[in-house]
Amino acid sequence: MPKIPECDRCQLNPRNPSIVCAVHPVGPDSDRCLDFRPAAEPPKLWAPEETRFVNDELVLEQPTYDGEPVPVPRQRFTLEEKLELLNYHPLFTGRCPHCEMPYSDTETLVHWDCSHCGWIGDTI
Ligand SMILES: [Zn+2]
Protein backbone atom coordinates (compact mmCIF):
# COMPACT_ATOMS: atom_id res chain seq x y z
CA MET A 1 0.00 0.00 0.00
CA PRO A 2 1.34 3.47 -0.77
CA LYS A 3 1.91 6.03 1.92
CA ILE A 4 -0.97 7.55 3.87
CA PRO A 5 -1.42 11.28 4.65
CA GLU A 6 0.14 10.84 8.11
CA CYS A 7 3.42 9.69 6.51
CA ASP A 8 4.36 13.29 5.59
CA ARG A 9 4.15 14.28 9.27
CA CYS A 10 5.92 11.20 10.66
CA GLN A 11 9.39 11.07 12.23
CA LEU A 12 10.08 7.80 10.39
CA ASN A 13 9.58 9.36 6.95
CA PRO A 14 13.08 9.53 5.39
CA ARG A 15 11.96 12.24 2.90
CA ASN A 16 13.12 9.94 0.12
CA PRO A 17 10.89 9.36 -2.93
CA SER A 18 12.04 5.73 -3.33
CA ILE A 19 10.99 4.57 0.15
CA VAL A 20 7.88 5.33 2.21
CA CYS A 21 9.44 4.87 5.63
CA ALA A 22 12.10 2.97 7.53
CA VAL A 23 9.60 0.60 9.17
CA HIS A 24 7.25 0.14 6.20
CA PRO A 25 9.38 0.58 3.05
CA VAL A 26 6.40 0.07 0.73
CA GLY A 27 3.87 1.80 2.97
CA PRO A 28 1.65 0.72 5.86
CA ASP A 29 -0.65 -2.28 5.46
CA SER A 30 -3.84 -0.29 6.03
CA ASP A 31 -5.06 3.32 6.06
CA ARG A 32 -3.80 3.64 9.65
CA CYS A 33 -0.23 3.12 10.82
CA LEU A 34 0.50 1.87 14.33
CA ASP A 35 4.10 3.09 14.02
CA PHE A 36 3.11 6.70 13.26
CA ARG A 37 5.25 9.09 15.29
CA PRO A 38 4.32 12.75 14.82
CA ALA A 39 7.29 14.87 13.84
CA ALA A 40 8.28 17.64 16.23
CA GLU A 41 6.95 21.10 15.48
CA PRO A 42 9.57 23.46 14.06
CA PRO A 43 11.23 25.45 16.84
CA LYS A 44 9.73 28.85 17.52
CA LEU A 45 11.96 31.79 16.73
CA TRP A 46 13.27 33.60 19.77
CA ALA A 47 11.74 37.06 20.16
CA PRO A 48 12.33 39.76 22.77
CA GLU A 49 9.62 40.30 25.36
CA GLU A 50 6.45 41.97 24.07
CA THR A 51 7.31 41.07 20.46
CA ARG A 52 6.47 38.18 18.21
CA PHE A 53 6.97 37.03 14.66
CA VAL A 54 4.16 37.45 12.15
CA ASN A 55 4.97 36.13 8.66
CA ASP A 56 8.71 36.19 9.50
CA GLU A 57 8.51 39.83 10.56
CA LEU A 58 9.20 40.90 14.15
CA VAL A 59 6.29 43.00 15.41
CA LEU A 60 5.51 44.63 18.74
CA GLU A 61 2.74 43.25 20.87
CA GLN A 62 0.25 45.81 22.14
CA PRO A 63 2.49 48.17 24.12
CA THR A 64 1.33 49.24 27.58
CA TYR A 65 2.13 52.14 29.88
CA ASP A 66 1.42 51.75 33.57
CA GLY A 67 -0.76 48.77 32.73
CA GLU A 68 -2.87 50.67 30.20
CA PRO A 69 -2.67 49.75 26.49
CA VAL A 70 -1.06 52.43 24.34
CA PRO A 71 -2.72 52.87 20.94
CA VAL A 72 -0.40 52.03 18.06
CA PRO A 73 -0.62 54.45 15.15
CA ARG A 74 -1.82 52.88 11.95
CA GLN A 75 0.67 52.71 9.12
CA ARG A 76 -0.16 55.36 6.55
CA PHE A 77 1.12 53.34 3.62
CA THR A 78 1.15 49.64 2.82
CA LEU A 79 4.46 47.97 2.01
CA GLU A 80 3.66 48.10 -1.71
CA GLU A 81 2.82 51.81 -1.48
CA LYS A 82 6.09 52.47 0.36
CA LEU A 83 8.08 50.66 -2.33
CA GLU A 84 6.25 52.58 -5.04
CA LEU A 85 7.10 55.86 -3.31
CA LEU A 86 10.77 54.89 -3.15
CA ASN A 87 10.78 54.36 -6.92
CA TYR A 88 8.62 57.36 -7.72
CA HIS A 89 8.89 60.32 -5.37
CA PRO A 90 11.61 62.93 -5.99
CA LEU A 91 12.44 62.88 -2.27
CA PHE A 92 14.06 59.51 -2.98
CA THR A 93 14.93 59.77 -6.67
CA GLY A 94 16.01 63.42 -6.89
CA ARG A 95 14.08 63.73 -10.17
CA CYS A 96 10.62 64.89 -11.17
CA PRO A 97 8.49 61.79 -11.76
CA HIS A 98 6.70 63.55 -14.62
CA CYS A 99 9.45 65.19 -16.68
CA GLU A 100 12.54 63.52 -15.14
CA MET A 101 14.13 66.95 -14.55
CA PRO A 102 16.58 66.66 -11.63
CA TYR A 103 15.94 68.83 -8.60
CA SER A 104 18.86 71.12 -7.87
CA ASP A 105 19.11 71.36 -4.07
CA THR A 106 17.18 68.43 -2.62
CA GLU A 107 18.45 68.91 0.96
CA THR A 108 16.60 72.19 1.51
CA LEU A 109 13.41 71.35 -0.37
CA VAL A 110 10.19 71.10 1.63
CA HIS A 111 7.72 71.15 -1.25
CA TRP A 112 8.45 68.89 -4.19
CA ASP A 113 6.59 70.82 -6.88
CA CYS A 114 8.43 70.83 -10.19
CA SER A 115 9.29 74.30 -11.51
CA HIS A 116 9.96 72.86 -14.97
CA CYS A 117 6.70 71.03 -15.78
CA GLY A 118 4.39 72.07 -12.93
CA TRP A 119 4.08 68.61 -11.32
CA ILE A 120 2.78 68.96 -7.77
CA GLY A 121 4.18 66.62 -5.17
CA ASP A 122 1.52 66.30 -2.52
CA THR A 123 1.78 62.59 -1.67
CA ILE A 124 4.16 63.00 1.28
ZN1 LIG B 1 8.69 68.05 -13.79
Question: Ligand 1 center to residue 86 CA distance, Å?
Answer: 17
So what's the pLDDT on residue 42? 66
> The pTM is what?
0.40
Would you call 106 exposed, middle or buried from its count of C-beta atoms within 10 A (0-12, 13-18, 19+)? middle
Give the mean pLDDT of 41-67.
78
Question: Ligand 1 center to residue 89 CA distance, Å?
Answer: 11
Position 61 pLDDT exceeds 70? yes
Give the mean pLDDT of 50-71.
81
Give the mean pLDDT of 101-116.
83
Question: Ligand 1 center to residue 9 CA distance, Å?
Answer: 59
Handedness of CA 86, 91, 93, 97 (dihedral sign): positive
So what's the pLDDT on residue 102? 93
